């Protein structure tokens, strides 16, 4: 099993290739920020963030020093057998089992259940343009890289998404043992030449910088974000995570800037490579509990041109005999 994270141990500060870029952080409430957002809508595409200069280190030469338990993310080799990622049936029948096996190998978990997946095939500029002139809550189906610093669910939001996607009795049972949410992210069709994905090492994160935002998903027929969660109904005790009969809602984590944050990416990723990273881990023994992440523009990158193409698969991860402590 991978070593547990400790806050005072970081990888050697050796010279690594870097990218100078801008990362986009949470805009505080006092400055006009929000506590509710609407993924997949014109509002989200136009939402304001705080830009900060950032240095992103290329970890390719030392990637084996980072894993899901010490940093929150892991760079892996994986060549998929999928021929056409636009074929939903093929993705579910071929790629889902591949992701299950990959997460089991990385985490040592006993069981993995796929929740949903999302493909991105558009530029950030295309999404902003598509939102112009639309009402805030109008769905925008253009799928661009997420260019703001975040975690898909907060610690409480992870429990909410569990209850939204499992029968209540099963969700209650799963909470009694160690469980997690992990994602697999990979380029598809071509290497990454713009908008790569970056991660902040969990050992460099101050959880006091976490900012909670409530995500209100669009209806199921409103594009990719409408398929993120099943919106299962439960008795009142668990109903805090429901958004009526229309669509689910749950907490996500945004981040305030802190100069101690250490950011990493892998240059020129190919479809034979992938990231496995944590959204949440119930284990409370000092290991990484999540992976803060964001796409970012490469130096000199144009707003236009060939978009990055990628897939992200979201999974519940379970251990039969591990306690949460």
Mean pLDDT, to the nearest integer, of 41-62?
Answer: 97
Beta strand pairing call for 179-187 and 310-318: antiparallel
| Residue 86: predicted pLDDT | 95
- pTM, whole model, 2 decimals? 0.93
How are strands ordered across the β-sheet holding 249-255? 18-25, 50-58, 263-265, 197-200, 292-295, 150-151, 249-255, 210-216, 36-37
How many other β-carbons are positioned within 10 Å of the β-carbon of residue 104?
14
| Residue 98: predicted pLDDT | 98
With a cut of 70, say whether residue 70 has pLDDT above it.
yes
What tokens does 192 get? Answer: 């990454």
Q: What tens digit of pLDDT does each residue of 113-157 get? A: 999 999 999 999 999 999 999 999 899 999 999 999 999 999 999
Q: How far, CA to CA in Å, does 160 sit from each of 12, 114, 241, 257? A: 37, 16, 5, 26
Mean pLDDT, to the nearest integer, of 246-262?
Answer: 91
How many other β-carbons are positioned within 10 Å of the β-carbon of residue 23?
25
Q: How confident is the model at residue 222 (pLDDT cuts 50, 70, 90)?
A: confident
Distance CA 318, CA 233 (A): 22
Closest of 211, 216, 265, 217 to residue 50, by C-alpha: 211
User: For the chain, what's the residue count?
Assistant: 325
Q: How far, CA to CA in Å, does 311 sit from each of 13, 91, 175, 268, 290? A: 31, 10, 28, 16, 19
Judged by DSSP in three states, 302 sits in coil
Do residues 306 and 193 lie in contact, with contact meaning Cβ atoms separated by under 8 Å? yes
With a cut of 90, say whether residue 1 has pLDDT above it.
no
| Residue 9: predicted pLDDT | 58
Judged by DSSP in three states, 239 sits in helix
Distance CA 148, CA 280 (A): 19
- C-alpha 293: how far from chain center: 7
Q: How far, CA to CA in Å, does 59 sit from each of 194, 203, 219, 267, 311? A: 17, 15, 39, 8, 21
Q: How confident is the model at residue 220 (pLDDT cuts 50, 70, 90)?
A: confident
Closest of 147, 167, 289, 160 to residue 215, by C-alpha: 160
């Amino acid at each position: 099993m991978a070593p547990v994270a400790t806050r005072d141990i970081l990888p050697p500060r050796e010279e690594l290739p870097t990218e100078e870029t801008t990362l986009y952080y949470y805009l505080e409430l006092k400055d006009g920020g929000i506590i509710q957002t609407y993924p997949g809508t014109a509002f989200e595409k136009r939402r304001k963030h705080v830009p900060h200069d950032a240095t992103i280190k290329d970890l390719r030469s030392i990637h084996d020093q980072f894993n899901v338990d010490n940093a929150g993310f892991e760079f892996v080799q994986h060549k998929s057998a999928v021929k056409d990622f636009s074929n939903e049936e093929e993705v579910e029948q071929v790629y889902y089992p591949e992701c299950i096996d990959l997460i089991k190998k990385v985490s040592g978990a006993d069981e993995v259940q796929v929740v949903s997946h999302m493909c991105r095939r558009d530029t950030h500029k295309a999404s902003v343009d598509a939102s112009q002139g639309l009402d805030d809550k109008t769905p925008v189906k253009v799928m661009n890289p997420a260019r703001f610093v975040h975690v898909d669910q907060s610690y409480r939001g992870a429990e909410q998404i569990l209850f939204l996607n499992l029968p209540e009795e099963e969700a209650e049972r799963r909470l009694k043992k160690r469980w997690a949410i992990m994602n697999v992210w990979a380029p598809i069709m071509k290497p990454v030449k713009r908008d790569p994905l970056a991660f902040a090492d969990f050992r460099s994160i101050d959880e006091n910088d976490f900012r909670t935002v409530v995500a209100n998903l669009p209806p199921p027929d409103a594009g990719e974000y409408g398929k993120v969660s099943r919106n299962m109904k439960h008795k009142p005790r668990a109903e805090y995570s429901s958004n009526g009969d229309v669509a689910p809602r749950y907490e996500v984590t945004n981040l305030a800037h802190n100069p101690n944050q250490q950011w990493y990416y892998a240059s020129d990723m190919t479809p034979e490579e992938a990231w496995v990273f944590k959204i949440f881990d119930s284990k409370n023994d000092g290991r990484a509990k999540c992976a803060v992440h964001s796409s970012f523009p490469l130096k000199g990158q144009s707003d236009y041109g060939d978009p990055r193409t990628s897939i992200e698969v979201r999974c519940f991860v379970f251990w039969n005999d591990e306690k949460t402590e």
